[in-house]
Amino acid sequence: MRQKIEQLSSYLADQIAAGEVVERPASVVKELLENALDSGATQIDIEIEEGGTKSIRVADNGTGIPQDELPLAVSRHATSKLKSLEDLAAVSTLGFRGEALASISSVSRFQIRSRSDGDSLAWNLSSEGEGRWSELQPGAGRVGTEVQVRDLFFNTPARKKFLRAARTEFSHIDQLVKRVMLSRSDVAFKFIHNQKIVRQVHRVDSDEGALQRLSALMGSDFARQSLRIEFENSDIRLHGWAGLPTFNRSQADMQYLFVNGRIVRDRLLSYAVKQAYADVLYHGRHPAYVLFVEIPFDLVDVNVHPAKYEVRFANGSWVYDFLRRSVRDAVSRPLAAPSGSGAQ
Ligand code: ADP
Ligand code: MG
């Protein structure tokens, strides 16, 4: 029996879209961290309870959102990061789709507090996940933004069923937070789970500081047994740390790749690094690395999937070759001095 065609309410549309962006608590943390970083924050605090299933709070000291724009920030297809299709070709911010806050708020109890430079007060906006929003409420607070997401999926039982034990959700968030901490050594982060500080890193302003931060995040063994990498070839740059062949793993569990500061899962790139180590590692062993690829924004398409973990290169084989060759040169150099030895 055919039913009449009707327009979805924007609330229902948001909930459906949330299926693509908000898979689990870690996806909420990812979106909120990206927003905080896009706002130029230098200090970001992440506080979660019960693996993020009960509560997720991200506070930053970025630009904040002006009072009159706050209602827009939480509505769909509203973004300050993109004005035209041309902008999309060279997008340099982590977000640009204007749907994260709308999606997240449609599947949680949601509260945002923000104060911009131009406002003398902070403003609060909240929703209990029914598509209805509170009036703007004034409050106190410093410049920046704080978002709190409670009871994720409380109103979408089908999705709530897919949540795992708090411990599992916590470890997804912890991995994500670690990646973000690795990617932005110019930002201080504090990560709290059930009232305990799990990870805390300070801003880095020296090589020594960078090594300390690497050591805190990747372990001191890795920091001691890895090579500082720095290669540049016209438009493309590779930097970071590549584990010495002697520091190898039975699993591919210490491999971190970033493209223009973005966390990516890219088989082409991981394969390039794997190939780079092929001659110096035993079969079945895996290298450890933290590598950053920087290429012009217009040569990489980040709009492949809503969660933005995938990227597409205008010239994949060029990136592949550069990565494989650079890493291979570094790790197969005999008597290479590890970065922690002081003999750089
Ligand atoms: P997007 O990041 O794709 O633009 P979001 O839904 O994540 O979409 O956010 C919508 C808008 O709200 C952003 O474009 C930005 O202007 C504003 N915003 C969100 N979070 C923050 C934040 N932490 N600091 C400053 N502005 C923010
Ligand atoms: Mg965003």
Domains with residue ranges and CATH for the chain: 10-201 (3.30.565.10), 210-336 (3.30.230.10)
Q: How far is the CA of 95 from the centre of ligand 1 (A)?
A: 8
Indicate the top mutation candidate among 57, 101, 108, 110 to test ligand 1's pocket, ranked by most ligand atoms within 8 A of CB: 101
**Could you read off the pLDDT tens digit of each residue along the chain, which spans 344 residues?**
899 998 888 888 888 888 888 999 999 999 999 999 999 999 999 999 999 999 999 999 999 999 999 999 999 888 888 888 777 777 788 888 888 999 999 999 999 999 999 999 999 999 998 889 999 999 999 999 999 999 999 999 989 999 999 999 999 999 999 999 999 999 999 999 999 999 999 999 888 899 999 999 999 999 999 999 999 988 999 999 999 999 999 999 999 999 998 888 888 999 999 999 999 999 999 999 999 999 998 888 877 776 667 788 889 999 999 999 999 999 987 655 556 554 44
| ipTM of predicted assembly, 2 dp | 0.99
Q: CA dist 4 to 10, 12, 156, Å?
A: 18, 17, 25
Nearest to 260 by CA among 252, 251, 269: 269
Residues with CB under 5 A from ligand 2 (ion): 35, 95, 100
User: Which of 35, 81, 143 best tests ligand 1's pocket when mutated (most atoms within 8 Å of CB)?
Assistant: 35
Nearest CA to ligand 1 atom 10: 73
Q: Give the number of the ligand closest to the Cα of residue 37.
A: 1
